[in-house]
Amino acid sequence: MKLLLRVIATLWAGGVGLVGCWVAAPLFSGAATASLDLPVQASIPTPANEFARSFVQVPPSGASGPTAGWRTPGEAEVDLAVEPPEEWVPPEWFPSSPDILALSAMDGSGPTTGPHVKSRAAFVYDIDQGAILYQKNPDDPRPVASITKVVAALAYASNWPDPDREVVIGPEQYPTRSGARSRLSTGDITTGIDLLGAAMVSSDNRAALGLAAAADMHLEQFVGRMNAVSIELGMTRSSWVDPSGLEDENLSTARDIAKATVAVATHPMLAPVASAPHWDLWRKNKDYVRRLGSTDRLNGRDDLLVETAKTGYTDTARYCFTTVLRTGSGHRLAITLLGADGRMTRWADVNRILGWIDQQG
């Protein structure tokens, strides 16, 4: 068990959802909480591994494989508080949460007039209101670069992983493109939770590739699980060929990515990782912990609380960004932007969207 305190977990571990009140996004050690005038529930400091381990699998009667449910220790398995729509039922591996039902309401038409968004595709959804606020080419499949890691995180979580499972980084986790970033070297020994943190927070490519081993799968099996998870979450226009997003054959849409991002923000093991301003990477073979910074420029703003965020870039996909956040005016939004031409364009698009929403009241 690592002694480093890295996660301040919210009452997720006690089974408290985000219904009717705001639960502050978990933060990692050394980070300041965003200053919003929002009701905040108490936080409980707990190491990342203990927090992740607090969710254990409980297969439904007669079920096996990836149909098992989750519960917190000492609790009976609970049904969804809200009856799911007939056309879509959350996968049974997903922790019980009414918020996941937002995914089924994200299908359909929405306004195409609104903020002046320069990204090639955009999808903006008000989670609390269950309303599409704005969309631009929401269902056009595009390469999504490292946003692929959001789906890789869901595939990892769907296999009920042991977050302390040690993984040795080998040649099979070497990035497929020269110059692809990684802070992990061949021979490094780390854990599943650290690979997840490095992949989601700093977009480390070898960490994303290592999630397959952390989930006790071969890479091909893991990619298959990514595609299966997409189907289970209603991401009907997505297909995946690798967990890192380096390959341009990883295709998705703004709407599908928004669904995956909401799922991550709703998952009690993934949300604390995906909202972290940095990650302290532990390696068994090194005598120091390496701090990895977040690629999310919104993290640290005092007018927002970020629940999940992921950036992406390749020459083909261009600049991409997806997030679930709460604004100072109380809007809980899912925003996905794909195909921005400039490095700063995606951030300018976010600001234009937030300003437009505030003007609407």
Predicted pLDDT of residue 300: 84
Residue 3 counted as domain residue: no
Mean pLDDT over 345-349 rounds to 97
The reported pTM is 0.79
Per-residue pLDDT for 147 more than 70?
A: yes
Residue 36 contacts residue 328 (beta carbons within 8 Å): yes
Tell me what the mean pLDDT of segment 299-321 comes to.
94
Quote the pLDDT of residue 131.
94
Both structure tokens of 336: 């996905």
Q: How confident is the model at residue 332 (pLDDT cuts 50, 70, 90)?
A: very high
What is the mean predicted confidence (pLDDT) over 276-297?
A: 95
- What is the spatial distance between Cα 135 and Cα 4, in angstroms, rounded to a whole number? 42
Residue 25 included in any domain? yes
Q: What pLDDT is attached to residue 295?
A: 94
The pLDDT of residue 6 is: 40
Residue 352 forms part of a structural domain: yes
Quick one: average pLDDT of 90-115? Answer: 90
Q: Is residue 258 part of a domain?
A: yes
What does the pLDDT read at residue 179?
59
Does 57 reside within a domain? yes
Mean pLDDT is highest, among 45-54, 63-72, 174-183, 203-212, for 203-212
CA 246 to CA 237: how far, in whole Å? 19
Q: What is the pLDDT of residue 86?
A: 59
Which CATH number do you get for residue 329?
3.40.710.10
- Please report the pLDDT score of residue 38 as a whole number: 31
Higher pLDDT, 77 or 270: 270
- What's the domain range around 66? 8-360
- The mean predicted confidence, pLDDT, of the chain is 80
Tally of domains in the chain: 1
> Which amino acid, residue 247?
E
Does residue 268 register a pLDDT over 50? Answer: yes
Measure the CA angle with vertex 229, ends 321 and 88; round to 5°. 100
Arithmetic mean of pLDDT, 216-226:
96
Domain membership of residue 136 (yes or no) is: yes
Weakest mean pLDDT among 38-42, 140-144, 146-150: 38-42
- Residue 2 inside a domain? The answer is no
Is 106 part of a structural domain of the chain?
Answer: yes
pLDDT cut 90: percent of the chain above it:
66
Q: Please classify residue 22 by burial: count the beta carbons closer than 10 Å to its beta carbon, then call 0-12 exposed, 13-18 middle and 19+ buried.
A: middle
Residue among 7, 16, 33 nearest 305 (CA): 33
> In whole angstroms, what is the distance from residue 237 CA to residue 221 CA?
20
